[in-house]
Structure 1
Amino acid sequence: MSFVSPPTKHWSVVELLHETVKNPNIHVRGKHSYYSNAWTGSFEDSVVRYLYGDEYSLKAWESQWPVDQLHIGDYVCIGAEAVILMGGNHTHRTDWFSLYPFPDVILDAYKGKGDTVIADGAWIGMRAMLMPGITVGEGAIIASGAIVTKDVAPYTIVAGNPATVVRSRFPAPVVETLLGMGIYNWDQKKFDAMKAYLCASEIEVLVSASAKYDASVKITE
């Protein structure tokens, strides 16, 4: 059996964000989040839009206002051609009579939207768009083509334009338990040991296995 190395661009090859992201205003947690870049450029070049801190903007000018940050958790899956829109209101003031970004009033025209956060374990579907300043909760799913204009609760599925809630992935007590366990804060050794239980849907079994693991670690200490 032979193995043929895939070309640089192929649907089976993903971009690991912690290895490629250079913009100081993008913060990637952990070493597992990825972008499926087979049909586009890199994550920074294609997905993240209007964010100061790329090579050109850093050399060309100094930001005149606080820059909204992009925070990406661990184990985040980002589908091909997704867009994460940054840059606040893009200097278009909807409360002014004119929307045009005149250079002489540009400082007054800009309004930040706050940081954008994609929490651990979230899945951003192909061609979805995240508007500035939103938070996508832990384990949330953004359906393909969805345009997300407001925060998405943990373990919630949203779809459509604008995105609305389809359903929660699990009953509320299960979601509360998952959040309380802090599974994405486990060290790598425990996470790997619990992987079989995480790749399942029996919460009682996961809770029990986690407790037994913690107890065994205390004994060995």
Structure 2
Amino acid sequence: MLPDGTLYRDTVHLKHAVIHPRMEIGDFSYYTHSGKVEETAGILAPYLFPTSREKLVIGRYVQIARGSYFISADANHPMDGFTTYPFRIFNPETFGYPNLPYRDTIVGHDVWICHKATIMSGVTIGHGAIIAAEAVVTRDIPPYAIVGGNPARLIRMRYPQEVIDLLLTIAWWDWPMDKLEANLAILERGDLEALKALA
């Protein structure tokens, strides 16, 4: 709902919009897209099927901007032979490539995935990371890193390691809602000493 009372339909809370057996989504994570609500799972992860071997796990308070999406392992083609053409998927008796590697794709808590980012199969994105616009994430991203480019590379860490360690220990995303709302100003202004006092 916008301040003037207009219902904004392009942003959905994923936990309420997605029913998919291979997706686990934390509270308050949202995604902005222009499709119908019931199309959200297919827009977010177009190749993640109910029969896929991998899962997409998204933490709490994740923000996913328009045009971003996840490429799962079922989009891969065999590359060990002399052709990459997926002959087997067109025959129900031979469907699939069970020997293709796969890992679950995991997005930590409070991750910001900016406009048109692509997240490849099997990566883990640490808590508090920021994925820059149009980045292509092909490998694991540490907590509180800012990455960008194709393939995505570290631009900088958001905080020194001792602050990152403290934030991971405090884990504000696990707080009950009343504690979170009461201390929102501390989180928003980055008041480290006040945050320490709450730990």
TM range (shorter): 0.7 to 0.9
- Which of 19, 23, 29 aligns to 2:20? It is 23
> Kindly tell me: are residues 181 and 90 of structure 1, through their superposed partners in 2, closer, same or farther at Cα, counting changes over 3 Å?
same
Deviation digits for residues 27-84 of structure 1, max 9, x if unmatched? Answer: 1112x110112x445431322120112xxxxxxxxx4xx6200111110000001011
Instruction: Name whichever of 76-85 and 195-204 sits farther off.
Output: 195-204
- Which deviates the most, 198-207 or 121-130? 198-207
* Separation in 2, partners of 1:132, 1:74: 20
Which residue of 2 is the match for residue 60 of structure 1? Answer: none
Q: Tell me by how many angstroms 1:182 deviates.
A: 1.8
8 A Cα contact 1:79 1:126, kept in partner: yes
Is residue 2:58 matched to residue 1:82? Answer: no
- Once the two structures are superposed, what CA deviation does each residue of 1:184-215 show, in whole Å capped at 9, x if it has no partner? 1222222222211111223122111x14xxxx
SS of 1:49's equivalent in the other structure is coil
Correspondences of 1:154-193 after superposition (within 5 Å): 154-193=143-182
The count of corresponding residues between Structure 1 and Structure 2 is: 191
Matched residues in 2 for 1:198 and 1:117: separation?
A: 24
Mark the CA change 1:179 to 1:141 in structure 2 (over 3 Å): closer, same or farther: same
State the shift of 1:154 in Å.
0.5
Higher mean C-alpha deviation, range 151-160 or range 99-108: 99-108
8 Å CA contact 1:27–1:72 kept in 2: the answer is yes
Matched position secondary structure for 2:181: helix
Based on CA coordinates, which of the two structures has the bigger radius of gyration?
A: 1
Which residue is 2:81 aligned to? Answer: 96
Q: How far, CA to CA, are the matches of 1:109 and 1:67 in structure 2? A: 9
**Mean CA deviation greater in 198-207 or 88-97:** 88-97
State the TM-score, normalized to the length of structure 1.
0.79
Q: Which deviates more from structure 2 when the two are superposed, residues 107-116 or residues 197-206?
A: 107-116
Of 28, 35, 39 in structure 1, the residue corresponding to residue 31 of structure 2 is: 35
CA RMSD between the two structures: 2.1
Contact 1:89 1:110 in 2 (8 A): no
Paired position in structure 2 for 1:69: 55
CA drift at 1:89: 5.5
Which TM-score applies when normalising by structure 2? 0.87
**Unpaired segments of 5 or more residues in structure 1?**
54-62, 212-221
DSSP 3-state at the match of 1:199: helix
The alpha-carbon distance between structure 1 residues 89 and 26, as it changes in their structure 2 partners (threshold 3 A), is closer
| Unaligned stretches of 5+ residues in structure 2 | none
Q: Following the alignment from structure 1 to structure 2, what is the Cα–Cα distance between the partners of residues 17 and 148?
A: 21
Is 2:190 aligned against 1:201?
A: yes
SS in 2 for 1:19: helix
What is the match of residue 214 of structure 1?
Answer: none
How far apart are residue 112 of structure 1 and its match?
Answer: 3.7
Please give the alpha-carbon distance, in whole angstroms, between the structure 1 residues aligned to 2:65 and 2:101. 26
